[in-house]
Chains A and B, each alone.
Chain A
Amino acid sequence: MSAVALPASVDAMLELLSSRGYLAERALATVTYLSLRMGRPLFLEGEAGVGKTEIAKVLSAALGRKLIRLQCYEGLDVASAVYEWNSAAQMIAIRLAEAGGDVDRDQLTSDIFAERYLIKRPLLQALEPDVAGSPVLLIDELDRADEAFEAYLLEILSDFQVTIPEFGTVKAPHPPIVIITSNRTREIHDALKRRCLYHWVDYPSAERELAIVKTRLPGISQRLSQQVVRFVQALRDQDFYKSPGVAETLDWATALTELDARSLNAEVVGDTLGALLKYQDDIARMQGDQLQKAIKDATSET
C-alpha cells in the first residue's frame, strides 16, 4: 500500500470516494473531508444498510491506509478492545526465571510486563505509527457496546492515548482517522458525540441509488435497474417496520440478475421479496393487490 495525499477540497473528496465506487451525497463528503482535515472522529448515524460502514472501508482503500475494525458488542471490555497480557507466556517467563535461580523481583516485573507480552487489540493497534500514514479506525455499531465502554472511549478519542498501568502511556504520533457508526438501537451519550463530527446518513435519492446500482452491478440492464430503484423507493415511503437500505437494494438487484429476470413481475418479486424486507409482518403486508400495484407503478414508465 502506498500513501495517498489527503484530498484538498470537498470536490476532491467526492472524487476520491467515487473512484472506489462509493457515490456519496455531497454532505457526507463534506463531513468526511472535515474530519480528515480537523483530525476529529466522524460519528455516522442512520438506518441499517445505508453505507455507514462502507465509507470506512472505501476511505482506507482509497487513501492506502490500514483499516482497523472494532466490531462492538455487549460486554466488549478493555481486554478485547484495547490490550491483554499474554498470561501463558508470562507464566513461562516466570518459571524460566525461577529455574535460572536468581530472581530479582524488580527485574522480573519489568521483564514480564514488556511490550512483547502485550497482545494488542484494535484500539491499541490504531494508535501505533504506520509507514503508510495513520490507519483508519472503524468503531462499528457502537450502540451495541454498553455505556461503560463508551465512557472508556472518551479518553482515547480526545487524546488518542491509552494508559496501561503496568506499562505506561501509549500515545499516537498522528491521530488515526476514526469512523464511528451507530444504528441507534440505543442513544449514545452526548459527551462522546461532542468529540466527534456528527452526520445522519439518509437513504439516497432515486438518481443516486440508480447510479449506485449501476456502479456496483455493471451487468444489470437499464430497464431492470430503473424498475428496481423505483420499487424500492416506493417501499420506503410506506410505513414498514424496517425499510430496505441500499445494501438490500443491491442484494435484491443481484438476486434478480441471478434469476435472469428482465423485468419485475409478480412471480419473481414474490419469490425474492425476502432480500428486501426482513420482517414477516412487512412481507405479509406486501401481498396481493398491494404487490400488484407496486409492481405496476415501478414498471409503468418503461
Chain B
Amino acid sequence: MPTSINHLAPPTGGIADNIAGFARALRAAGLPVGPGAVIDAMTALEVIDIGKRPDVFTTLESIFVKRHEHALIFAQAFDLFFRPAEEWKSMLDSVPLPDHAKKKPPPASRRVQEAMSQPHTHEEPQAQEQDLRLSVSDREVLQKKDFAQMSAAEIAEVARAIAKMRLPQAELKTRRYTADPRGHRIDMRKTLRQALRTEGEIINFHRLGRLEKPAPIVALLDISGSMSEYTRLFLHFLHAITDARKRVSVFLFGTRLTNVTRSLRQRDPDEALASCSANVEDWAGGTRIATSLQTFNKQWARRVLGQGAIVLLISDGLEREADAKLAFEMDRLHRSCRRLIWLNPLLRYSGFEAKAQGIKTMLPHVDEFRPVHNLTSIEALISALSSPLPAHSRNVIRPAA
C-alpha cells in the first residue's frame, strides 16, 4: 500500500507510486491528467521542500489542474489521498466521484442491442417494395411534421436528416491576412522572394486580403419540462453544427445553466448526447430563464461572445417570474452579441400571439423571432444563418424597453 507523503522523510521509490496513484485517482474523478504531467510532478517535487504540505499542494495543483473549474475536485482529491497511511484505504473507497465519472454502459451499446434484436420481418420482398414507394411521401410528411408528434422511428429519421445538414459558412472578416490576388495589401516577403528568381526584378506583386472565418455561434437551449419533446432533436442539430465548425458553444438551461460544449464535441451523436445528459442535473424540470441568463451573462458572455457571436436562444419563453430582471438580462445579452435569434417552437401555431408575460418581456430584445418545430423550419434557420450578417450591432443605441 502506498504510504502518505507526510510520512516520507527522504525521497524514496514510494513517492513515485504515490504520484502515479494520485494521478490515476484524478483521472477517475474526471480530470484530464496525462503521463507527461506525472513526470512533471515528479520533477517539480524534487525542487521543493516536500515537508510543507501547502507547497506540495500548490505544486501538484499547478501541474494537474489546467482549468479553474477543476480546482475544487483537485482540492478534495488531494485531501483524501494524502492522508496518513492507516486512514488511506478506507478513505479512498469513499472518494466522491462526480456522476459523469462513474462507469456506465457505453452509449453505442443501445444501438448495437437494437440492431441485434431487430425482427427480420422487413426482409420479405413484398414489404420492402411497399416501403420504397412510401418513403418519398414519408419524407415530405416528415418535413412538415411537428417534432412533438413524432414516433421514435420518425425522430431517428429526422435526426439522420439533421446530421446531414451542413451549415453554410457565414463569414466574418478577421484581422488576419491571407494570400489573395485581389487583396489590398502587398505581401512584400513573398514578392521579394519571387523577385530573386528574376535577378531582383519585381514582375508582379503578391497581395494579401483579410482572412474570413465563420462567426461563432452560441446556443442557449431550454431543457425544461415544456420543451422536453424538442430538446433531443435540438441537441442533434447542435451536435451536427458543432461537428462542422469549431466555434460553437452550447449551453443548456432549466433551473440552472450547464455548459455542454465539450460533450457535444464528441464525434458520435449518441455518445455526445449521453455525455450531455450526464452533465445536466435539471433535465425536464422547471425554468428560470432570468436566473440562467444572469449566470450566462456574468460567467460566460465575456468568454464566448467576444468575437461577434450569433446567439441562438431556443426556448418557449414560458417563464413565470417575468419581471424587470428578465428584461434586464435579455437586454444585456442582446447588447453583447452580434445577433440574437430567438427560436420558439410555440410559433408553430398559426394563430400564435405573444400573450404570455415572459414572451412579451423578452420579445423587444431579440433581432429575430423564428419558429423551430420541424425540419422545414430548421432548414429555414440554416439559410438565415448563412445570409450576410448585419453590421456590428454593438454600437447601435436601442431604446430601453
A interface list, Cβ under 8 A from B: 9-10, 26-27, 30-31, 33-34, 37-38, 40, 45, 73-75, 77, 84-85, 87, 90-91, 94-95, 97-98, 103, 105, 108-109, 112, 146-148, 166, 184-187, 190, 193-194, 197-200, 239, 241, 281
Cβ of B166 within 8 Å of any chain A Cβ, yes or no, is no
Q: Judge whether A34 and B66 touch: CB under 8 Å.
A: no
Report the bound CA distance from A239 to B297 in whole Å: 12
Contact A194 B36 (CB under 8 A): yes
Majority-rule SS of A interface residues? helix
In the bound assembly, the distance between CA atoms of A194 and B34 in angstroms comes to 9
Best-surrounded residue of A27, A73, A108 (most CB of chain B within 10 A): A27
Contact B195–A94 (Cβ < 8 Å): yes
- Contact of B58 (CB < 8 Å), options: A27, A40, A97, A187: A27
B174 and A74 contacting across the interface, CB-CB below 8 Å: yes
Distance A80 CA – B137 CA, assembled complex (angstroms):
59
Residues of B within 8 A of A281 (CB): 328, 332
Report the interface size for chain B: residues with CB under 8 A from the other chain: 47
Nearest CB to that of A190 among chain B residues?
A: B66
**Interchain CB contact (< 8 A) of B200 among A9, A87, A95:** A95
Are B55 and A10 touching (Cβ within 8 A)? yes
Whether B120 is near chain A, meaning CB under 8 Å from some CB there, is: no
Q: Mark B319-336, 1 if CB is under 8 A from A, else 0.
A: 000000000100010000
Q: Is the CB of B303 within 8 A of A187?
A: yes
Q: A10-B49, A87-B192, A200-B71 are in contact. Are A94 and B200 (CB under 8 A)?
A: yes
Number of A-B contacts (CB under 8 A): 114
Contact status of A190 and B32, CB under 8 A, knowing A30-B59, A166-B193: yes
Check A34–B62 contact: CB distance below 8 A. yes
Query: Provided the pairs A38-B40, A197-B62 are in contact, do residues A77 and B176 lie with their beta carbons within 8 angstroms?
Result: yes
User: Could you tell me the distance between the alpha carbons of A241 and B295 in the complex, rounded to whole angstroms?
Assistant: 10
A186 to chain B, nearest CB (A): 6
A31 in contact with B175 given A94-B200, A186-B303, A186-B304 (CB within 8 Å): no
| In contact, A9 and B192 (Cβ under 8 angstroms) | no
Q: Is the CB of B48 within 8 A of A108?
A: no
Closest CB-CB distance, B23 to chain A, in whole Å? Answer: 14
Please provide the chain B residues from 36 to 90 with a CB less than 8 Å away from any CB of chain A in the complex: 36-37, 40, 43-44, 47-49, 52, 54-55, 57-59, 61-63, 65-68, 71
Please state if B200 and A108 are interface contacts (CB–CB under 8 Å). Answer: yes
Which residues from chain B contact A90 at a C-beta distance below 8 Å?
192
Contact check, B40 vs A200: say whether CB atoms are below 8 A apart: no
Which residues of chain A have C-beta atoms less than 8 A from B48's C-beta? 9-10, 30, 33-34
Closest-by-CB residue of A relative to B52 is A10
User: Contacts A34-B59, A85-B188 given: A75-B174 contact, CB under 8 Å?
Assistant: yes
Give the complex CA separation of A185 and B175 in angstroms: 18
- From A73, A75, A91, A105, B199 is in contact (CB under 8 Å) with A105
Q: Say whether B196 contacts A108, CB under 8 Å.
A: yes
Report the minimum CB–CB distance from B42 to chain A (whole Å). 11
- The docked-state distance in angstroms from the alpha carbon of A45 to that of B44 is 20
**Chain B interface, >50% SS class:** helix
Output the nearest chain A residue to B176 by Cβ-Cβ distance.
A75
CB distance from A49 to the nearest CB of B (A): 14
With most chain B CB atoms within 10 A of its CB, the pick from A31, A84, A147 is A31
28 residue pairs bridging A and B, Cβ less than 8 Å apart? A10-B49, A30-B54, A30-B62, A34-B62, A37-B44, A38-B47, A40-B40, A75-B175, A85-B192, A87-B188, A91-B192, A94-B195, A98-B199, A108-B200, A146-B174, A146-B307, A184-B68, A184-B303, A185-B303, A186-B303, A186-B306, A190-B66, A197-B62, A197-B63, A199-B62, A200-B68, A241-B298, A281-B332
Contact of A34 among B47, B54, B176 (CB under 8 A): B47
Cβ A103 vs Cβ B200 within 8 A:
yes
17 additional A-B pairs beyond A34-B47, A105-B199, A108-B200, beta carbons within 8 Å, are A10-B52, A10-B55, A26-B58, A27-B61, A30-B62, A34-B59, A38-B43, A73-B175, A84-B189, A94-B192, A94-B200, A103-B199, A103-B200, A185-B302, A198-B66, A199-B61, A281-B328
Question: Do B176 and A146 have beta carbons less than 8 Å apart?
Answer: yes
B200 contacts A98, C-beta separation under 8 Å: yes
B49 partner residues in chain A, CB cutoff 8 A:
9-10
Whether A87 contacts B189 in the complex (CB less than 8 A), given A10-B49, A199-B62, comes out as: yes
Q: Name the A residues within 8 Å of B44 (CB-CB).
A: 34, 37-38
State A146–B306 Cα separation when bound (angstroms): 11
Query: Whose C-beta in chain B lies nearest to the C-beta of A35?
Result: B62
CA distance A253 to B189 in the complex (A): 51
Q: Given known contacts A75-B176, A97-B200, A200-B71, is B58 in contact with A112 (CB within 8 Å)? A: no
Shortest distance from the beta carbon of A240 to any chain B beta carbon, whole Å? 9
Q: Is there contact, CB below 8 Å, between A74 and B302?
A: no
Whole-angstrom CA separation of A95 from B32 in the bound complex: 57
Residues of B contacting A109 in the complex (Cβ-Cβ under 8 angstroms): 196
Chain B residues contacting A193 (CB-CB under 8 Å) are 66-67
Nearest neighbor of B192 in chain A, beta-carbon distance: A90
- Chain B residue nearest in CB terms to A144: B306
Q: B189 — which chain A residues lie within 8 A by C-beta?
A: 84-85, 87
Which residues in chain B, 5-44, are within 8 Å of chain A measured between CB atoms? 32, 34, 36-37, 40, 43-44
- Chain B residues within an 8 Å CB radius of A148: 176
Given A74-B307, A194-B66, A241-B298, A105-B36 contact (CB < 8 Å) = no
Taken together as a complex, chains A and B put the C-alpha atoms of A194 and B35 apart, in Å, by 11
Closest 3 CB pairs of A and B: A75-B175, A87-B188, A94-B200
Bound together, the chains give a CA A239 to CA B329 distance in angstroms of 14
CA gap between A57 and B34 in the complex, in Å: 32
Taking a contact as CB atoms under 8 Å apart, the answer to whether B303 and A105 are in contact is no
- Assembly CA distance A184 to B300 (angstroms): 9
Cβ contacts under 8 Å, B188 to chain A: 85, 87
Instruction: Tell me the bound Cα distance from A49 to B193 in angstroms.
Output: 45
Cα A29 to Cα B197 with chains together (Å): 55
Min distance, Cβ B54 to any Cβ of chain A, angstroms: 6
CA distance A187 to B302 in the complex (A): 11
